[in-house]
Amino acid sequence: MKFIENNWQVAPLATRDAAANDITTAFDFSAPPRAATLLGTSRDVVQTPTHATTVVYLCYGLALLMLSGLVAIWLWRHRRLPRRELA
């Protein structure tokens, strides 16, 4: 927000914005623009799963399994017993 306020000379929206740090120094506006890089239109790249992605998928699967187990236990404990009908 502070960068936008300083760049376009807009008043701060709140006191928090007025006290915020500006990130203008992170940019080099004196450098010439880089040449455009055109990306290909082909999507033939196939990513092979790495060890890290395998671990992440295993953790997600374990978390899903644990969650479904907890839901099953909760449903089992809070099941409604059928009411007996009075004759």
Delimit the domains of the chain by residue range. Answer: 51-79
Helix H, strand E, coil C: the string for the chain is: CHHHHHHCCCCCCCHHHHHCCCCHHHCCCCCCCCCCCCCCCCCCCCCCCCHHHHHHHHHHHHHHHHHHHHHHHHHHHCCCCCCCCCC
Q: What is the pLDDT of residues 26-76, one digit of tens each?
A: 888 899 998 998 887 877 766 676 788 888 999 999 999 999 999 999 998
User: From its phi and psi, is residue 79 left (phi > 0), alpha (psi between -120 and 50) or beta?
Assistant: beta
> What per-residue confidence (pLDDT) applies to 32?
93
> What per-residue confidence (pLDDT) applies to 85?
63
21: which 2 tokens?
């740090």
32: which 2 tokens?
């010439």
